[in-house]
């Protein structure tokens, strides 16, 4: 599916036009996370069910939000209401905030989870880092 590598605005346009569904984009993103994350260790929490539910709601409705139907990941440094948010710290390992992420969700984006944030290790760079590339 070529549309999964398009820009966020292009993906949203394709969803609005019906060329691709939000559910298709989310399913592809979740498949990639499932396939690549065991090696990359990039996600603290993956919200697969929530993302699929949100995508189905978007597919069943209409709207012109700029990021409508686009799967996104919210960094683990941002409070995410109802989702474990660790701030990359053991002190927050079980923290689930009551508030957060409203701005992107209101703009029509589909939250697919919280990517890992590497804490400082005595001034050294994280062991694993890099960009996710198509395989």
Alpha-carbon gap, residue 64 to 23, rounded angstroms? 17
- Residues 101, 81 contacting (CB under 8 angstroms): yes
45-59 average pLDDT score: 90
Range of the domain at 31: 2-115
Residue 130 maps to a domain:
no
Give the pairing type, strands 110-111 and 71-72: parallel
pLDDT tier, 74 (very low <50, low <70, confident <90, very high otherwise): confident
* Confidence at residue 112, expressed as pLDDT on a 0 to 100 scale: 55
What sections of the chain are H helices per DSSP?
A: 8-17, 22-40, 48-60, 102-106
Does pTM surpass 0.75? no
Q: Which residue has the higher pLDDT, 48 or 109?
A: 48
Is residue 13 included in any domain, yes or no?
Answer: yes
In a domain, residue 33? The reply is yes
3 band by pLDDT with thresholds 50, 70 and 90: confident
Rounded Cα distance between 51 and 110, Å, is: 6
Domain annotation covers residue 126: no
Q: Quick one: CA dihedral 94, 100, 106, 111, positive or negative?
A: negative
Q: Domain for residue 133, yes or no?
A: no
Residue-wise pLDDT tens digits, 98-120? 876 544 444 456 655 556 655 54
Could you give the number of structural domains in the chain? 1
Q: Within a domain: residue 124?
A: no
């Amino acid at each position: 599916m070529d549309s999964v590598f398009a820009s966020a605005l292009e993906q949203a346009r394709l969803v609005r036009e019906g060329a691709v569904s939000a559910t298709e984009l989310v399913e592809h993103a979740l498949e990639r996370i499932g396939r690549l994350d065991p090696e990359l260790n990039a996600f603290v929490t993956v919200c697969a069910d929530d993302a699929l539910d949100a995508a189905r709601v978007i597919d069943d409705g209409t709207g012109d939000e700029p990021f409508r139907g686009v799967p996104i990941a919210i960094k683990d440094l941002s409070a995410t209401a109802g989702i474990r948010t660790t701030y990359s710290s053991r002190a927050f390992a079980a923290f689930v905030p009551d508030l957060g992420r409203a701005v992107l969700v209101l703009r029509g984006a589909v939250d697919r989870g919280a990517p890992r944030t590497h804490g400082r290790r005595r001034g050294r760079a994280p062991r694993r880092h890099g960009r996710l590339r198509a395989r």
